[in-house]
Every structure is written in structure tokens, then in C-alpha cells.
Amino acid sequence: MTTAETTTADGREDAPESAPVRKSPPRWWRLLGRDRAAAVGAVVLSLVVLVALFGRLFIGDHAQRQDLDASLRAPSLSDGFHGLLGTDVLGRSVLARLIDAAATTLSVAVPAVLCSLVIGSAIGLWAGYHGGRRESVAMRVADVILSFPSLLIAVVVLYVFSPSATNIVLILAVARIPVYLRTSRAEAAELRSRLFVDAARTFGTPSRSIIYRHILPIALPTLLTVATLDFCFVMLTESSLSFLGIGIQPPDVSWGLMVAQGRQYLQTAWWITVLPGLAIVLTTVSATVLAAWARIATDPAQRWRLTLPRKRRGASAAVPPEMIP
Amino acid sequence: MTTTSAPAPSAADPALDVEGLCVDLSTASGTVRAVDGVSFSVRRGRTLALLGESGCGKSMTALSVVGLLDPAASVTGGAVRVRGEDILRLSPAERRRLAGPVLSIVFQDALTALNPVQPVGRQIGEPFRIHRGLSRREAREKAIELMTRVGIPEPRQRAKSYPHQFSGGMRQRLLIAMAVALDPDVLIADEPTTALDVTVQAQIMRLLRDLQDERDMAVVLITHDLAVVAQRADDVVVMYAGTVVEQGTVREVFAAPRHPYTRGLLDSVPEDAERGQPLPAVPGSPPELSAVPSGCVFQDRCPLVRERCVRERPSLRATGDGRSAACHFSEELDRD
Amino acid sequence: MTESRTTTETAGPRTGGHPPLLEVRGVTKSFGSGRRRLTALDGVDVRLGRGETLGLVGESGCGKSTLARVLLGLERPDAGTVRYDGVDPFALRGKELLNWRRRVQMVFQDPFASLNARMSAADLIGEPWRTHRDVVPDARAREKRIRELLSLVGLRESDAHRYPNEFSGGQRQRIGIARALALDPDLIVCDEPVSALDLSVQAQVLNVLSELQSRLGVAYVFISHDLSVVRYISDRVTVMYLGKVIEHGETEDVFDRPQHPYTAALMSAAPVLDASRAAHDQEIQLKGEIPSPFDIPSGCRFRTRCRHAEDKCATEAPPLVVRESEGDGDDHTALCHFPLEARPAWA
């Protein structure tokens, strides 16, 4: 198989959509509709976001209202809306608490992930694109942050300062910056030697425009995938902080805190732990599936896969058309 | 098919005879035919060039002959005869027995074709260990002998080096050494010099020719370079979109092509073109394998195209003196 | 007609008349230091007028790609001067530098890697305007200009919204050419623009390039290892070997009457279509391969592979041999102790 052949020979272009003149790429929501898993993921994520935004309007004070008579009730359909998912040891509605916790959890995890993603990627892309001393300094800083056990710093910092939501966000963000920094640096360092980056430099394009226009769009899907995985990590770290008593402070509640609090009742009242755990897993998996879809949907050379009829897609998975001479 | 009852191959018999070879390729958008009824044969001591542009199926043809097709591709018809046996019907183990002593191949990219973590001496000696059961030391001696033959300076020391320590030209020599190690009847060279500089390319071509003369091999040269064909090959098979469009001796085909594609290719070489005059280019580009037209494969780009070409695919028919062309109107090319 | 000077001059065009579009003198560039010092360019001279084509020939490691990067201002030379209409681009800053960048553009060898696969043809062609915002100010004019550029390189207007993976190699190269034209440059550096393309498509792209030259008056530095292509497209040819220009002259002079043994070998090594010519032509086989640019031979750098090499070649730098041009073209120069006769052996 000669290189000349693998590059030009085009199984790639026999994707059915390329034959007729097509004016614009298919709309993203149509692509989403073609991928069932990603569509489900999108629906789940939107639900979680809606609940986090508006859920508190519907639950009143049920998340905090104690009713010791109703302690540790199993999920059942006969106890009304608030008893749907059972109650905890203080008789509080697990459903109401889940809804309440969704807001808290997302308000910690989303800003933390976004902060570390934006700061880490920006520094990483800049360092990776320029290389040299800038790169080594950035990498050493990242190594230093990584070499501290992040939980330990969190404990120290949160012990010294007050364990407010803002501080938790900041601590988690700083602790996760190196992850994005390293990933984006590696991507940028590889991409800076690509020919189309050279081409952009011949027009006199300034470095930040090259990073923004050519490097970021290609590195972004990878970074988003890392971020979705990190989302899970951040939620769990937050729960361990809460477990140590320096995270989210009761009466506020987060999914992580619920898992931590319910742990001692695991054998008698599984729903207190399992349901918030399930919420974390569902949210993370949905985000990951959506990120995987976005990676394909934003790549013009891959996008055709999503336009194929579903049955064929399974069969074609074995042979990406680029590989065919 | 028993080999014992087969008559001893005479010099006139082809060393390699490919007949009606078809290769299907499963792609994302369904199965396409990558090689469609390709036939050719080559005798010992002769060089046959498979000439065509990327995607025309020339490499696929070669790979199916040596049994190295990608799993996505499968041979769906035809026969490949070597020493009177149809090797497409042999078991994988029997085919392996032929790989080396009968058929061997030289690839374009010598760096990926050699194992990067093994000294080259051991790799070149490997065929001897596998097929002749030589000891490691004997194989090493053989390897050094071969390295001397293909012009590697200080072979005894260099045998211990790794592939990346050689230049591109030297790596190609190593690959050739490995391919000719067991004196094959047929050597297939898949774009052996495409990645090399012109002066090195000339050296490698010379080496291949010398080895061919010395060992009386049949060589199948796969290339897209018309000039290499003109200089190196005896016969040529011109391929386009998976089919053979013309074949014959290089001298005659290049002097008077009987297919408009061959004609177009020859005309677009800027060798004799006057500066400032536009080159006579073939318009358009080759069809996708999934969109090969049902009539003549070349109809979209052909200056002679008529209604009949759209309706009916021309078969490869003899045009006298051992040549053949797949064109309804090949006579018209002779006239002007 | 042949004069010989024993200076360590380089073979290249000699100055004269008004300042040309591009004048490069004695450009030297090396990378690394100490024993790992790679000399990519060693005193290179290049001269090019408006609307002309200079062919740059040489094998891998001869420094032609580094020279291209210097011409585009992507690498700063260690020594020597680069002048565009008498202006040194490396002395420019800010807005002036940006304005100069418009004048020199590049077409790359690999039509696959040089286009960002995530951008549509229209975005790719219009990309230079995102940096040079004043060239085509409003969106409507941009669209019109993109349509013009597409038709100029022989693509359809409907192709504007397609992505690189939907084009064949030749079509992609046309996009690359259209992008290079977007800023109306005076000079386009073409780095092996057709060597990755199929033969039947190669001719199309070469035709596009020469047509553009006659319509727009753009000059080309045309880098290629394919001698037949260079001969077809160039007015003048410069041959490089290990970072030095070893021969320069009008295309006919260099091809028909090469002075340097390397040029002669290069030409005889390149396979030719015409069997009768090939038989006529004694193939000159070169010994070995190009020496490492980390360790350039003393004296004449070609001596390790040269048939005519004598002791003198190892100790003395070769003199500049000048054969004056018959017309008003560039003189035919070479760096060699034993230049070939004016008439080739087979003629």
C-alpha cells in the first residue's frame, strides 16, 4: 500500500452524501438524531440542567423537612411525590434532596471544570505552540501542582479558610488545571508542526489567531472528552471533602454528600446512597457520550459516519474508509 | 492439483500468470470492485510494468498476488498461476511455502517494511532460517553475502545496525536483498523508488536490473511513473479504475497508444512541452470506485466519447501484434 | 567565452540594472550548534524579476525548503541579505511587516496536510483576509472574490462550501493556489506543488499555474525534484547541492549545456520517456548518496560523488565559472574546478 495511494484513494469520498452537490453540512441536531446514544445523552443532560435550574421551585422545603416517623422508608408509589424515592434516616425525601443537590452539585462541578478547562487549556496551548522556555516553565508548574496530593491541599486550604462553595470551586479548579495543561500542550506541540499552521504563518497570521483558529478547534474535542471525565472526578472529590466535613456544609446538600452520608445505611437503606450515585454516573456517562459524538460531528472528514443509515454504520466500523487503498 | 504430475516448467511458460483477477473491497458505503478482471503474464527475465494512477488498483493487484491483501478486501474471482499452480486455491500454509523461494515483493516504504528493533543482518537472514533451516550463524553469513551483493559498504559491521541507521537508499537495498534472498521466480516491486532522490533512484533501478539479469527473475514493476516504465520495462499493463485499459510492449504502446487514457498520460508529460504552451492535460480526475460508470470506465474524461461508450463497456480486445486495448474507437487513435 | 575566477564566490545570478523583485545575496542559515551543527544554506544567491519563474532543483537535504522558508520570512538568515524591491523584510516591524507578507505567498507540496480539514473551501481561501482585514473589507465583496478565485483556479462556485475531504488531490491543490492568490501576491513560492499529484492531474495544475502567471503577472519560485516539470515551467534554473547554489542560468543553458558534473548527473539519472533519447544518453551513475549536512566535505562539496574529482577538489574551494549569456538573460554560472565542456559528450 503506497502512501500516495492511501492518501488520495478515496473510499472516503464515496460516502453517499458527497456525490450530489450539497450546499451546507447537515444540521447538528439532525446528526444528533442519527446517533441514538448521543441523543439520549443530550436528553438526560438537559433534564439534569433543567432540574438544577428550576427543581427547587417545586420541592419547597421538603429537602430539609424532617419527619422522624417516616425515617428510612423504601421507595414506594403510595407515599406521594416526595416518597417516590424513599426517605433518609431523618425522614427527609430523597427525591427532594436529589433535586436540591443537583443544583449544588452542578454549581460546584461545572464552574470548577470550566475554570480548569479554560485556564489549563489556554496555558497549555500557548506553551505547546511556542515551545522553548515558555513550555518548560508551564510544564514544571504543572508538575509541581500534580505532585501535591490535591486532597491534602484542599484539606489544608479549606481548613484555614472557610469551606464555602467558592473556595471549593477554586481548590478543585487549581488542582485539575495540570490535566488540561498537559493534554493541550501535547496537542498544540504536535499541531504546530502541521503544514496548515505553516501556511497560516505565511499570511502573517499572529500566534494567538493561529492558536484560536487552527489549534483550538482540533484540540477541543479531546479536551472536552477529558473534561467530561473530569466532571465525574470533581463530583467525587467534592463528596470526599464533604465526607471530611470541609466540603458542602449541611443543610446544603450535594450528590456526593448524599452518597457519603448514606454509606452507613447501605445494607438497610440502599436507596439513600445508590440513587445519588446513579445520578452522578448518569450525568457523567451522558456527558461522555455527547462528547464522543461532538468529536465526530465537528470533524468534516468524519461527519459522514453520522449520516449513514444505522445498520451500515455497525458494519463499517471495522474499516474506516481512509484506510482503504 | 498435484505438483508432481505437472510438466516441468519450460522457459516459454510464464513465471506468473494472472487471469481475470477480481478484488472486492468492503467500504462504509458498501462493496466496491477495486480490481475488475485483470489479466497479465510475465516470463522469467522479462519486466512487466503495472502502470496507473493512485486508486487504479495496481497495488491491490500486486498485494492479492502475494496474498497480503487488507482484510477489508477479498479476491472474488480469477486465478494466479505460479509454477502451474493456482495459488489462490492454496491453503495459507502452502502459500507461505511459496513466499520467498517463488514469489517475493519489495515495498515502497523501506522504513516501515523493516522491523525497527531488529538488527538488519538478522532480518535479511530470516528467509534462510525459515525456508532452508539454516542455523543462526549460517543465516548471518548468507545475509552478509547478500548485503555485499546489493552494495552495502562494510556489510559485516553494518549487519549489526538497525534500520533507522541507514539512509533511504540503503534501506531500499536491504529490502531488495531480503526479497531476492531465496532466488524467487517472480519479484514484485511496488513503487520501489518513489520515495527516493533521483540519483539514488537510478542506482536502485540499476541494482534491480542487474539482479534480474543475474538470477533470471520475472519482475512486476508497479509504478505511476511513465519514464520509469519507458526506461525499465519490457511490457506494460495500463490500469484505470480497476480495469486494464491497454497492454502490450512498452516500445509499441508508448510509440502509438491505442487507448485515449494512455495517450492522455503520455501527452501530459511535460518533457517535450514548449514553455508557455499549455500542456495537453486529461480533464477531470479518476472516478471513485463506488462511482465507476457502467459503460466505458474512461468515458467522463475521454475526448472520443460517444453514445456507445456510455451504453457498453468495451472489452479488452487484441489489436494485433500481441497488444490489446479496451476502447471502442482505438483505431481512431492510430490515424492521427 | 568562459572566464574563471578563483574566489569563493557562489554560483548565482550576478547583479545588474534596476533592483529586481527579489534579490537574495549570500544567505547562510544553520541550525543547532557544535558538532550537531547543520548547515542548511551556505551563501545562497537568488534573483528574480516580476512575472518570472525561477526553478529550484536539488535532492533532499540540499536546502531548498529552508530557502523557501527564508524567502517567506519564516526563518531569519544567519548572514546575507534578502531584498524585495530593495526592501529588507527582516527589518520591517508591525504594520509594514504585515503589508510585506501579502506580497509573498506559498503553495505547499502536500495538498492534504496543508489545508485544515475543518474549514470549508471558502474559509480556507478567505483565511488570509482574517489577518489582512483591509484587503477585502466587507462580507459581500469577500464572497464575490472567493467566487472569482475559485473560477480562476478552475473550481466551481458551488465548491465553496465543501470541505477538503470532499475534494480530490488536484482539486485541493487548486484550493491551495487560490488561497495563495487571495492577497494578490507578487511572488508565490511553490514547494513541489505537483509532486504529490497523479500525472494526469499534474498537467492540469501546471496549466493553472502558467495561466495565472500570464494573467496576473505573478512570479514563481518553483521548487521541484522533477526536472521535466522544472524545464517546462521555469525561465531560469538554480541547482543546489548541500546548501550551496552550484549552477545557475537560463533554463536552456542549464539543461542543454550543464557545466557542473552534478547537474549533468542529475539530468542523466532522471528517467526520460523518449526511449531513443535515453539510449543516446549515457547514464552517469553517481557514487553513493548525499553526505550528511552535519558534516560537509571540504573543498568542493560534491567531490565525494564526482567522477572528475582530483586532489585539488578536496583542498580548494571551487572557482566560479561564468559563461556569458548569448542574449540578455542571466549568465550561466557554476562552481567547479573542472566544468564540463560547452557541448555535451553525446552531441
The Cα of C120 is separated from the nearest Cα of chain A by a number of Å equal to: 9
CA distance A107 to A109: 6
Bond from prior residue into A251 cis (ω within 30 degrees of 0): yes
State residue B96's pLDDT score.
86
Sign of CA dihedral C165, C167, C168, C174: negative
pLDDT above 50 (res C344): no
Chains B–C, number of C-beta pairs less than 8 Å apart: 128
- Per-residue confidence (pLDDT) for residue A125, from 0 to 100: 94
- A256-278 pLDDT per residue, tens: 888 888 888 888 888 888 888 88
C172 has a chain A CB within 8 A of its CB: no
Q: Which helix (H) or strand (E) holds B244?
A: strand B243-249
pLDDT in tens, C208-239: 899 999 999 999 999 988 888 899 999 999 99
Provide the percentage of residues in chain B whose pLDDT is more than 90: 37
| Complex ipTM value | 0.80
Predicted confidence at residue A4, as pLDDT, reads 36
Give the β-pairing of C244-250 and C236-241: antiparallel
Instruction: Report the percentage of chain C scoring pLDDT > 70.
Output: 90
Contacts of C270 in chain B (CB under 8 A): 198, 202, 227
Residue of C nearest to B232 (CA): C271
Helix or strand or coil: residue B326? Answer: coil
By DSSP bridging, strand B235-240 and strand B47-51 are parallel
Task: Read off the pLDDT of residues A77-99 as tens digits, 9 standing for 90 and up.
Answer: 777 777 778 787 777 888 888 89
Helix (H, G, I), strand (E, B) or coil at A56: helix
The whole-angstrom distance between B331's CA and the closest CA on chain A is: 32
Half-sphere exposure of C304 (CA within 13 A, CB side): 12
The three grid cell numbers given for residue C12, joined into one nine-digit string: 548565482
Q: What pLDDT sits at residue B261?
A: 93
Question: What residues of C are in contact with residue B287 (Cβ under 8 Å)?
Answer: none
Q: Mean pLDDT of all residues in chain B?
A: 87
Mark yes or no for CB contact C131/A12 under 8 Å.
no
Residue A118: pLDDT over 70:
yes
Minimal Cβ distance to C274: which of B206, B271, B286: B271
Q: Output the average pLDDT for chain C.
A: 84
pLDDT digits (tens, 9 = 90+) for C37-62: 888 899 899 889 899 999 999 888 78
Per-residue pLDDT tens digits for C56-111: 998 887 888 889 989 998 889 999 999 998 889 999 888 888 889 889 999 988 88
Question: For chain C, what percent of residues have pLDDT higher than 90?
Answer: 29
Query: Shortest Cα distance from C218 to chain A (angstroms)?
Result: 17
Query: Which are the contacts of C347, defined by CB distance < 8 A and separation ≥ 6?
Result: none
Residue C6 has pLDDT above 60, yes or no: no
Choose among C323, C329, C325, C315: nearest CA to C342. Answer: C323
Give the domain A34-300 fold: MetI-like fold (1.10.3720)
Helices and strands per DSSP (H, E), number in chain A: 15, 0
Contact C130 A18 (CB under 8 A): no
Position B4 scores a pLDDT of 43
Instruction: Give the percent of chain A with pLDDT over 70.
Output: 85
pLDDT of res. A202: 85
Complete DSSP assignment for A19-54: SS---SPPPHHHHHHH-HHHHHHHHHHHHHHHHHHH
B189, B221 contact by CB (below 8 A) = yes
The secondary element (H helix, E strand) that includes residue C44 is strand C38-48
Residue A223 reports pLDDT greater than 60:
yes
DSSP alpha helix (H) spans, chain B: 58-66, 92-98, 110-113, 120-131, 136-149, 155-158, 168-180, 198-215, 226-232, 250-255, 260-267, 307-311, 330-335
DSSP state of A266: T
Q: What is the mean pLDDT of residues A244-249?
A: 79
Please give the distance of CA B64 from its chain centroid, rounded to a whole number.
11
pLDDT bucket at C342, cuts 50 / 70 / 90: low
As a residue count, chain C comes to 347
Task: Return the pLDDT at C17.
Answer: 53
| Neighbour count for residue A109 (Cβ, 10 Å) | 28
**Identity of the residue in C59, C203, C232 whose CB atom sits nearest the CB atom of B198:** C59
Q: Determine the pLDDT at residue A311.
A: 45
Residue B3 has pLDDT above 90, yes or no: no
B72, B108, B291: residue with CB nearest A319: B72
Q: Taking CB atoms and an 8 Å cutoff, what residues of chain C touch A299?
A: 117-118
User: By the CB < 8 Å criterion, does B2 face chain C?
Assistant: no
Residue of A191, A193, A195, A298 to mutate for C, most C C-beta atoms under 10 A: A195
Asked if the C-beta of C229 comes within 8 angstroms of chain B's C-beta atoms, the answer is yes
Contacts for B15 with CB less than 8 Å, ≥ 6 apart: B9, B42, B43, B44, B82, B185, B186, B217, B218
| Band of residue A318 on the pLDDT scale cut at 50, 70, 90 | very low
Any chains having at least 3 CB pairs less than 8 A from chain B are A, C
Task: Say what the pLDDT of residue A9 is.
Answer: 35
Q: Do B28 and A11 touch (CB under 8 A)?
A: yes
Residue C270 sits at φ, ψ, to 5 deg, of -65, 125
Residue pairs between chains A and B whose CB atoms are closer than 8 Å: 81
* pLDDT, average across residues A50-59: 86
The CB-side HSE value for C65 (13 A sphere, CA atoms) comes to 10
Quick: pLDDT tens for B141-185: 999 999 999 988 889 988 998 888 888 888 899 999 999 988 899
Query: Per-residue pLDDT tens for B22-61?
Result: 999 887 677 889 999 999 999 999 999 999 888 888 888 9
Partner B contacted by C290 (CB < 8 A): yes
Q: Select from C52, C220, C240, C273 the residue whose CB has the most chain B CBs within 10 Å, as the one to mutate to test that interface.
A: C273
pLDDT at residue C14 is higher than 70: no
Distance from CA of A321 to the nearest CA of B (A): 6
**C96 contact A CB<8A:** no
pLDDT band (50, 70, 90) for residue A150: confident
The answer to whether the CB atoms of C59 and B199 lie below 8 A apart is yes
Q: How far is C72 from chain A (nearest CA, A)?
A: 6
Cα–Cα distance for residue pair C143/C49, rounded to 1 Å: 32
The backbone torsions φ and ψ at residue B310, rounded to the nearest 5 degrees and listed phi first, read -75, -35
- The SS3 call for residue B50 is strand
CB contact under 8 A, B28 and A10: no
C125-141 residue pLDDT tens: 999 998 888 888 888 99
Q: Which residue has the higher pLDDT, B264 or A25?
A: B264
Does the structure show a pLDDT above 60 at C347? no
Name the pTM for this structure.
0.78
pLDDT the model gives residue A321: 41
Of B301 and B27, which is predicted with more confidence?
B301
Record the cell numbers describing residue B216, joined without a space.
533470471
Q: Which of A27, A202, A298, A305 to mutate to test the interface with C (most CBs of C within 10 A)?
A: A202
**pLDDT band with cut points at 50, 70 and 90 for residue A164:** confident
3-state secondary structure (DSSP) of residue C2: strand
User: Is A301's CB within 8 Å of C106's CB?
Assistant: no
Which residues from chain A sit within 8 angstroms of residue C162, using beta carbons? 22
A13, closest residue in chain B (CA to CA): B288
Listed range (A109-123, B106-120, B260-274, C9-23) with the worst mean pLDDT: C9-23
Residues in B touching A17 (Cβ below 8 Å): none
- pLDDT at residue A16, rounded to an integer: 36
Phi and psi at residue B237, in whole multiples of 5°? -120, 115
Residues A300, C122: Cα–Cα separation, whole Å: 14
Q: How many Å apart are CA A191 and CA C42, to the nearest integer? A: 30
The DSSP code for C87 is B
Residue A31 and residue A292: Cα distance in Å, rounded? 13
Q: Nearest CA to CA, how far is A15 from chain C (Å)? A: 9
- The mean-pLDDT minimum among A128-132, A301-305, B294-298, C252-256 falls in A301-305
- Which positions in chain B touch A325 (Cβ < 8 Å)? 55, 59-60, 70
pLDDT of residue C190: 93
Can you give the pLDDT at residue A25? 52
Residues of chain A above pLDDT 90, percent: 18
- Domain map of chain A by residue range? 34-300
Residues of chain A neighbouring C165 (CB-CB closer than 8 A): 12-13, 300-301
**Angstrom distance (rounded) from CA C226 to CA C194:** 9
Quote the pLDDT of residue B95: 86
With bands split at pLDDT 50, 70 and 90, how would you rate the model's confidence at A185?
very high
Span A91-108, average pLDDT: 87
Please report where in the chains the cell 475488475 appears, as a residue: B36
Contact A324 B70 (CB under 8 A): yes
Across the interface, do C233 and B270 touch by the CB < 8 Å criterion? Answer: yes
Average pLDDT over residues A152-167: 81
Chain C residues touching A25 at Cβ < 8 A: 163
CB nearest C169 (choices: A8, A205, A209): A8
Whether the per-residue pLDDT at B327 is higher than 50: the answer is yes
Q: For position B166, what pLDDT does the model report?
A: 86
B324 touches chain A (CB under 8 A): no
Mean pLDDT of C238-266: 90
